[in-house]
């Protein structure tokens, strides 16, 4: 009976943090974690991790390669609070201090299949020039006490930031029992492809769209 009438659906996330592009920096590593709503719970895999330190290769002067695997499974009763992947990149400054080089976040793709996401990264900036000079001299750059704040909207409008770098992540998404609970994620599509909006009169169902362009129907 449980298999016929499931009470939860499953979202399996496989993939890897492929690499990054930070033209001004080298010898970087990446931390990651997942942020999700109250109705979600992990059932297997790792919720957070840290990559190895990598340096730029001779073939590509600006490309840092990690190829760090991602593998986790979530369960939920509704798509509210759909999981996000938060990444933060760190590396040494001129004095050898370990400082943050960028924060970024992206929603896990809604549709099953292969996807690639390029995440724009940013760092918090001091408000005053004196603070900027002092933080550079002492090796204490502004950073978030909890990187998960990057996936939230509260309080972000008062933070001064500067864009720098990109992180590339590939996903392989598998869902189970979403259709049985009344949620239609649509057919599999290739990475970064926007699903067409239904033509003609609007249906009674509701369509939710993520900031990555994928959508699902409730």
Q: Measuring CA to CA, how many Å separate 151 from each of 105, 138, 211?
A: 6, 29, 12
Spatial CA neighbour of 68 closest among 87, 94, 92, 82: 87
Query: Residues near 127 by Cβ (< 8 Å), separated by ≥ 6?
Result: 160
Residue 134 banded pLDDT, cuts 50, 70, 90: low
Q: What is the pLDDT of residue 151?
A: 87
Q: What is the pLDDT of residue 94?
A: 80
Other beta carbons within 10 angstroms of residue 125's beta carbon come to 14
Q: Element (H or E) spanning 21, and its range?
A: strand 9-21
Rounded to 5 degrees, what are φ and ψ at 150?
Answer: -60, -30
Spatial CA neighbour of 108 closest among 211, 1, 201: 211
Residue 192 banded pLDDT, cuts 50, 70, 90: very low
Instruction: Catalogue the E-assigned strands of 57-127.
Output: 63-76, 84-92, 98-107, 113-124
Query: Would the pTM of this model clear 0.85, i.e. be above it?
Result: no
Distance in angstroms (rounded) separating the CA atoms of residues 49 and 34: 10
Spatial CA neighbour of 150 closest among 100, 80, 92, 191: 100
Q: Which pair of tokens denotes residue 49?
A: 């991790």
Of 15-24, 69-78, 146-155, which range is least confident?
Answer: 146-155
Q: Measuring CA to CA, how many Å separate 138 from each of 29, 84, 91, 98?
A: 21, 33, 15, 12
Q: In this model, does residue 218 exceed pLDDT 80?
A: no
Q: What average pLDDT does this structure show over 81-91?
A: 96
Higher pLDDT, 125 or 49: 49
Q: What is the pLDDT of residue 146?
A: 87
Q: What is the pLDDT of residue 42?
A: 96
Q: How many residues are present in the chain?
A: 218
Q: Which pair of tokens denotes residue 106?
A: 């992206």
Distance in angstroms (rounded) separating the CA atoms of residues 68 and 54: 11
Q: Which pair of tokens denotes residue 63?
A: 């490309």
């Amino acid at each position: 009976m449980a298999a016929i009438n499931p009470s939860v659906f499953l979202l399996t996330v496989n993939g890897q943090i492929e690499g990054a592009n930070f033209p001004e920096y080298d010898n970087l590593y990446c931390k990651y974690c997942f942020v999700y709503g109250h109705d979600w719970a992990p059932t297997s895999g790792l919720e957070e991790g840290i990559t190895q330190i990598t340096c730029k290769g001779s073939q590509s002067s600006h490309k840092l390669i990690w190829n760090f695997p991602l593998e986790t499974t979530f369960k939920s009763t509704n798509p509210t609070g759909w999981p996000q992947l938060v990444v933060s990149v760190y590396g040494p400054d001129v004095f050898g201090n370990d400082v943050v080089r960028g924060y970024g976040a992206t929603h896990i793709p809604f549709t099953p299949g292969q996807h690639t996401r390029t995440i724009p990264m940013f760092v918090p900036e001091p408000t005053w020039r004196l603070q900027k000079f002092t933080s550079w001299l002492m090796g204490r750059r502004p950073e978030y006490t909890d990187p998960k704040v990057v996936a939230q909207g509260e309080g972000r409008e008062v933070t001064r930031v500067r864009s720098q770098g990109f992180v590339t992540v590939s996903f392989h998404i598998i869902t189970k029992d979403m259709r049985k609970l009344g949620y239609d994620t649509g057919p599999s599509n290739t990475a970064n492809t926007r699903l067409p909006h239904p033509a003609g009169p609007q249906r009674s169902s509701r369509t939710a769209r993520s900031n990555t362009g994928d959508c699902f129907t409730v």
